[in-house]
Amino acid sequence: KKILVLNGPNLNLLGQREPTQYGSTSLADVEAMCRAAGQRLGYEVECFQSNWEGALIDKIQEYGRLVKEGQALGCVFNAGAYTHTSVALHDAIKGVELPVIECHISNVHAREPFRHHSYLSPAAAGIVVGFGVTGYIIAMEGLARLRDKDNP
Ligand code: DQA
């Protein structure tokens, strides 16, 4: 089974972008960490990043189909700033049977007020916030525990 690790806008610049906020690990390194965690947990991991809202929606719909066919477990999703703006991503998650764990590197609740609201949270199966890039791994483990009886 597959787990999708989905990253939204500006996360391609991870490691270079605001390192005091997001750390110095690159997205390629985070994705390698996720693949290793997937192997440990017994899943194939697909990593996808886009700066385009529609590309993220297409990927969510694709994984909705894969979950229905029993080929995927769910998704770890850092939607970046779309978290705070996108009704379309909320609807995309609601519209399919894909369990999504919302993930943020920084503690968004300790930052500017415009980061305190998430359109994704009401559609998410779980949320991981403020653990740095380790949050992706915590989210993958949480997803496995939530959705896979073989990973208690
Ligand atoms: C982020 C938090 C968002 O508010 C911000 O727009 C990001 C990254 C995080 O991982 O902490 O791009 O999702």
pLDDT tens sequence across 4-27: 999 999 999 999 999 999 999 999
Q: Which atom of ligand 1 is nearest to the CA of 84?
A: 4
Domains in the chain: how many in total?
A: 1
CATH number for the domain that contains residue 79: 3.40.50.9100
Sheet containing strand 44-49, edge to edge, reads 44-49, 2-7, 72-78, 100-104, 126-129
Q: Which residue among 6, 51, 78, 133 is best mutated to probe the pocket of ligand 1, counting the most ligand atoms within 8 A of its Cβ? A: 78
Residue 152 lies in a domain: no
For 28-52, what is the mean pLDDT?
A: 98
Q: Is 72 in the pocket of ligand 1 (CB under 6 A)?
A: no
Q: Is 22 a catalytic residue?
A: yes
Residue 112 lies in a domain: yes
- Asked if the ipTM is above 0.95, the reply is yes
19 phi, psi to nearest 5 deg: -60, -25
Q: Is the dihedral of CA 16, 18, 19, 23 positive or negative?
A: negative
Residue carrying the six token digits 């500017």? 112
Residue 7 lies in a domain: yes
Cα of 70 vs centre of ligand 1, distance in Å, is 31
pLDDT in tens, 101-138: 999 999 999 999 999 999 999 999 999 999 999 999 99
Residue 81 lies in a domain: yes
Cα of 127 vs centre of ligand 1, distance in Å, is 13
Enter the pTM of the model.
0.97
Name the residue range of residue 108's domain: 2-147
Cα–Cα distance between 151 and 39 in angstroms, integer? Answer: 13
